[in-house]
């Protein structure tokens, strides 16, 4: 308690720097989940993608980032274990932020799309093992999170493979692909509207404290009904707008007009996924920051949840925007261009598969990583065209970076933890 009283302002200032640094890493690395396929398919340029992501990631993070947050991400350790030593939790949260931010910076420079959640979880495991005890870590919870290495890419890959094959068979392999596209794409628009609405309601707007209780049972059931209606409205609007798209002959690409329609869909999905991503993943940066702020402002009281003032959400939102603007292009290029060649129709299949996987996970409690989900979806689209369409060297380096993320976060957190404890005592 004496240490908290003596160094409270210093802890708060250092935590703000650490939180902003972690948010920078999220912007530099994880925003590829929302933007990579749009850029890779040429539906958007890098500059357009960055502008869209800046707007919608910021809105998602600031408007829907949450009023309260768990002090320990994903329940890896019990905060009550540190009730008598609040300074250890302060050191731990700051070391976790610095460690995860450092790993995300290294991964972003290398162009590796890694999980920000796994980065912060690995860092918390590292500090808990040395700062409290190895037994204090909920290893079963860690194992469940590690399952997402397999579950996320596999599920999304299967979905994207099936979606792309359906587009190929129902539209591209017909006698008149353009006419068939104008007939069937409203159905795909409904699926997009439905899935993205589900993602936004389950992983985005829920942080605003909205109660979707209007007679359809659970929150998930209410979101299901509302998303179906939203999807129907969007499908009608899409069908009307399709009437204005005319066939244009292109000797080099007879599917150019069809791809142009899918390109419009990609812009919509990019905006919505950026909002949902910003609202969900900002917690990886501002959760530990809120925990430190709560301890300092309460004079050393440790609780399971912490208040989320607007200035903390603003710190996280600004960090994401700065990270995306300065270094986001590297990971966007990896996801969108280096794994496999994408077109708007392939990018649409990948994005919709990723969104569908997120919705399924939200409803069933499956452990997933948005990064692994998107990469798996892009991989599935590539495999639909044959193994030769995949750059196996790039996939190998991505998989290796996933395996390294948890231990890298843990090791870096140990270093930062001992450094902070050595400085403040």
Distance CA 60, CA 409 (A): 26
- Percent share of the chain, pLDDT over 70: 90
Q: Could you tell me what percentage of the chain is helix, strand and coil, using 3-state DSSP and rounding each to the nearest 5?
A: 80, 0, 20
Model pLDDT for residues 170-192, shown as the tens digit of each residue: 998 888 888 888 888 888 889 87
For 135, residues 6+ apart whose C-beta sits below 8 A from its C-beta are none
Model pLDDT for residues 161-170, shown as the tens digit of each residue: 999 999 999 9
Domain boundaries, the chain: 2-424
Give whole-number Cα distances, 214 to 208, 210, 229, 359, in Å: 17, 12, 14, 20
Give whole-number Cα distances, 43 to 12, 37, 55, 346, in Å: 43, 8, 18, 11
Distance CA 401, CA 281 (A): 19
User: Could you tell me which residues are beta bridge partners of residue 307?
Assistant: 68
Neighbours of 162 (CB within 10 A): 14
- Residue 81: how many CA atoms within 13 Å on its side-chain side? 20
47 pLDDT exceeds 70?
Answer: yes
Q: What tokens were used for 340?
A: 């496999």
The phi and psi torsions of 92 (rounded to 5 degrees) equal -65, -45
Reported as a pLDDT band with limits 50, 70 and 90, residue 303 is confident
Report helix, strand or coil for 21.
Answer: helix
Q: Which of 29-43, 56-70, 80-94, 377-391 has the lowest mean pLDDT?
A: 56-70
Phi-psi map region of 161: left, alpha, beta (phi>0 left; psi -120 to 50 alpha): alpha
One DSSP character per residue, 318-333 reads HHHHHHHHHHHHHHHH
Q: Which of 5-9, 160-164, 410-414 has the lowest mean pLDDT?
A: 5-9
Q: Which of 281-285, 311-315, 335-339 has the lowest mean pLDDT?
A: 281-285
Reported as a pLDDT band with limits 50, 70 and 90, residue 64 is low
pLDDT at 111: 92
pLDDT at 209: 57
pLDDT at 84: 80
354 pLDDT exceeds 60?
Answer: yes
């Amino acid at each position: 308690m004496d240490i908290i009283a003596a160094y409270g302002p210093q802890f708060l200032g250092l935590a703000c720097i650490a939180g902003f640094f972690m948010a920078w890493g999220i912007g530099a690395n994880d925003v590829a989940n929302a933007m990579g396929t749009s850029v890779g398919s040429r539906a958007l340029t890098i500059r357009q993608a960055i502008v869209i992501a800046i707007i919608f990631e910021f809105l998602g993070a600031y408007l829907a980032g949450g009023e309260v947050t768990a002090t320990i991400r994903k329940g890896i350790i019990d905060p009550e274990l540190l009730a008598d030593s609040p300074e250890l939790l302060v050191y731990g949260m700051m070391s976790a932020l610095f460690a995860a931010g450092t790993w995300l910076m290294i991964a972003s420079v290398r162009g590796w799309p890694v999980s920000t959640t796994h980065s912060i979880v690995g860092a918390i495991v590292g500090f808990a093992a040395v700062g409290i005890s190895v037994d204090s870590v909920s290893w079963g919870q860690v194992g469940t999170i590690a399952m997402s290495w397999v579950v996320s890419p596999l599920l999304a890959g299967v979905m994207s493979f099936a979606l792309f094959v359906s587009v190929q068979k129902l539209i591209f392999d017909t006698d008149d692909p353009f006419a068939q596209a104008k007939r069937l794409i409203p159905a795909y628009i409904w699926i997009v509207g439905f899935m993205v609405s589900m993602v936004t309601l389950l992983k985005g707007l829920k942080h605003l404290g909205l109660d979707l209780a209007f007679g359809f049972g659970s929150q998930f059931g209410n979101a299901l009904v509302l998303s179906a209606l939203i999807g129907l409205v969007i499908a009608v609007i899409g069908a009307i707008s399709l009437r204005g798209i005319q066939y244009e002959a292109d000797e080099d690409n007879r599917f150019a007009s069809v791809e142009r329609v899918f390109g419009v869909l990609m812009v919509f999905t990019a905006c919505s996924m950026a909002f949902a991503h910003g609202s969900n993943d900002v917690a990886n940066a501002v959760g530990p920051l809120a925990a430190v702020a709560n301890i300092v402002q309460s004079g050393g009281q440790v609780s399971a949840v912490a208040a989320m003032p607007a200035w903390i959400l603003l710190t996280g939102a600004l960090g994401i925007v700065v990270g995306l603007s300065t270094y986001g292009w590297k990971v966007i290029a990896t996801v969108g261009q280096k794994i496999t060649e994408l077109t708007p129709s392939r990018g649409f299949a990948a994005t919709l598969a990723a969104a569908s996987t997120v919705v399924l996970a939200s409803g069933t409690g499956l452990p997933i990583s948005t990064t692994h989900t998107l990469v798996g979806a892009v991989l599935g689209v590539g495999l639909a065209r044959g193994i030769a369409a995949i750059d196996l060297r790039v996939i190998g380096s991505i998989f290796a970076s996933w395996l390294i993320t948890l231990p890298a976060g843990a090791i870096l957190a140990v270093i930062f933890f001992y450094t902070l404890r050595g400085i403040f005592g």
